[in-house]
Amino acid sequence: MTQSFESASDPADSPGRRTISYVLPVYNEADNIATFHRALLEATSARDDYVFEFLYVDDGSRDDSLEHLLALREADDRVTVLSLSRNFGHQVAVTAGLDACTDSAAVVIMDTDLQDPPRVSLEMIALWESGVDVVFAQRRSRRDSAFKRATAFGFYWLLDRLASIEIPRNVGDFRLMDQRVVQEVARYREHDRFLRGIVAHVGFRQEAVLFDRDERFAGETGYPLRKMIAFAASGIAGFSTAPLRWISRLGFVISALSVMLACYVAGVRIFYPEQSVPGWAFLGVGMFLLSGIQLIMMGVIGSYLGRVYVEAQNRPLYSLAIAARGPRDGAR
Ligand code: UDP
Ligand code: MG
């Protein structure tokens, strides 16, 4: 590992420089780590006015990723390695990384398969320096399969319509967050995590940089279809109780239809008595009306369940951006 300056490895030697941490989740990336780290060093070497910390979180990899990471750690003490006791999933791995960088001025989250190009993080840093709190990388293009593109489109379309807050489209977890945003995100402790939704929920000044997402360098995706569907579901369920409200809407529609049916049946009975078939009207209308009423009642239960859910998520009520006030302990 070539290091052009000694002090880069010791933050204590450089009181003037602020620390930027990279949180780097790793799951079975043995063939990517060396290339990725080289690319990351190359990009970050352009900014020697910061101290960089490279925080790799091994998410219970089954290959020898951890050995590779520990070797990096040996060679460069700006590298930190955390290893989770088993595979907890990408979102939890990133959270573990965020929890560990409490004294960095900013944190960059980035995949370790070279799909997120390290040089883009320099653009993020430049925007952050101009006062933006969250810089997220928005995909201008993606070289994924047609299937992945189509499902991603459908997912963002649905999320746009359902979610209680605006979650930007075509944005993964590749982003830079200012320390104060990291601290706010850390207050969200829900288990079923959809980080990009949480960051959107936190607020502050958020802006995008556009980038072209590359193909995975080596290895295979840790997000097979099954995990992708579960992830999409936690995105929607975590930020919307709309599906619960649909229950009662459906109930109202069915009840209204059954009232119309009752009118129709009564009309036939009065105006065309010779055509009316005895018996079915009571059963038919009754069946529709009852199931309509049942759905409305389930919707009522759903609306309470939605409230219980929101309370159980126990998210912070608000986040402060600025608190300007006079001296607290001075004479008043
Ligand atoms: N990852 C992880 N835990 C997992 C799956 C993935 O930490 O259970 C990491 C992985 O090493 C990579 C990032 O999360 O750095 C994104 O995963 P992947 O590239 O497999 O997802 P895709 O880009 O295909 O959506
Ligand atoms: Mg990837």
Would you give the distance in Å from CA 93 to the centre of its chain? 13
82 lines ligand 1 (CB under 6 A): no
Instruction: Kindly give, in sequence order, each residue whose CB lies less than 8 Å from that of residue 39, ignoring residues fewer than 6 positions away.
Output: 114, 117, 118
Ligand 1 nearest atom to the CA of residue 110, by list position? 15
Tokens of 148: 């992945």
**Torsions phi, psi for 268 (to 5 deg):** -60, -45
Sign of CA dihedral 30, 34, 35, 41: positive
Minimum-distance ligand to the CA of 144? 1
Query: What is the domain partition of the chain in residue ranges?
Result: 11-224+317-324, 242-313
115 lines ligand 1 (CB under 6 A): yes
Inform me whether the pLDDT recorded for 11 exceeds 70. Answer: no
235 lines ligand 1 (CB under 6 A): no
Sheet holding 79-83, edge to edge: 79-83, 50-58, 18-26, 106-109, 171-178, 134-142, 206-213
HSE toward the beta carbon, residue 212, CA cutoff 13 A: 3
Tens digits of residue pLDDT in 221-234: 888 888 888 888 88
Binned at pLDDT 50, 70 and 90, residue 40 comes out as: very high
Q: What is the pTM of this model?
A: 0.83
Inform me whether the pLDDT recorded for 15 exceeds 90. Answer: no
pLDDT attached to residue 53: 95
58 lines ligand 1 (CB under 6 A): no
Nearest Cα to Cα of residue 121 among 49, 30, 21: 21
Q: Which of 23-27, 49-53, 138-142, 208-212 has the lowest mean pLDDT?
A: 138-142
Binned at pLDDT 50, 70 and 90, residue 2 comes out as: very low
33 lines ligand 1 (CB under 6 A): no
pLDDT attached to residue 225: 84
Multiple choice CATH, 11-224+317-324, 3.20.20.70, 3.40.630.30, 1.10.3720.10, 3.90.550.10: 3.90.550.10
Is 14 strand, coil or helix?
Answer: coil
Minimum-distance ligand to the CA of 228? 1
pLDDT attached to residue 1: 41
Largest CA distance in the chain: 101
Atom 13, ligand 1: which residue's CA is nearest?
Answer: 111
Query: Residue 92 Cα, ligand 1 centroid: separation in angstroms?
Result: 11
Q: Which of 172-181, 188-197, 280-289 has the lowest mean pLDDT?
A: 280-289
Binned at pLDDT 50, 70 and 90, residue 332 comes out as: low
Query: Residue 270 Cα, ligand 1 centroid: separation in angstroms?
Result: 68
Inform me whether the pLDDT recorded for 147 exceeds 50. Answer: yes
Query: Residue 216 Cα, ligand 2 centroid: separation in angstroms?
Result: 6
Q: Which of 61, 90, 173 to mutate to test the pocket of ligand 1 (most atoms within 8 A of CB)?
A: 90
pLDDT attached to residue 331: 53
| Pairing state between β 171-178 and 106-109 | antiparallel
26 lines ligand 1 (CB under 6 A): yes
Tens digits of residue pLDDT in 57-105: 999 999 999 999 999 999 999 999 999 999 999 999 999 999 999 889 9
Residues with CB under 5 A from ligand 2 (ion): 111, 113, 115, 216
Atom 16, ligand 1: which residue's CA is nearest?
Answer: 111
What number is the average pLDDT over the span 294-315? 93
Query: Residue 263 Cα, ligand 2 centroid: separation in angstroms?
Result: 59
Query: Residue 304 Cα, ligand 2 centroid: separation in angstroms?
Result: 39
CB atoms within 10 A of CB 153: 12
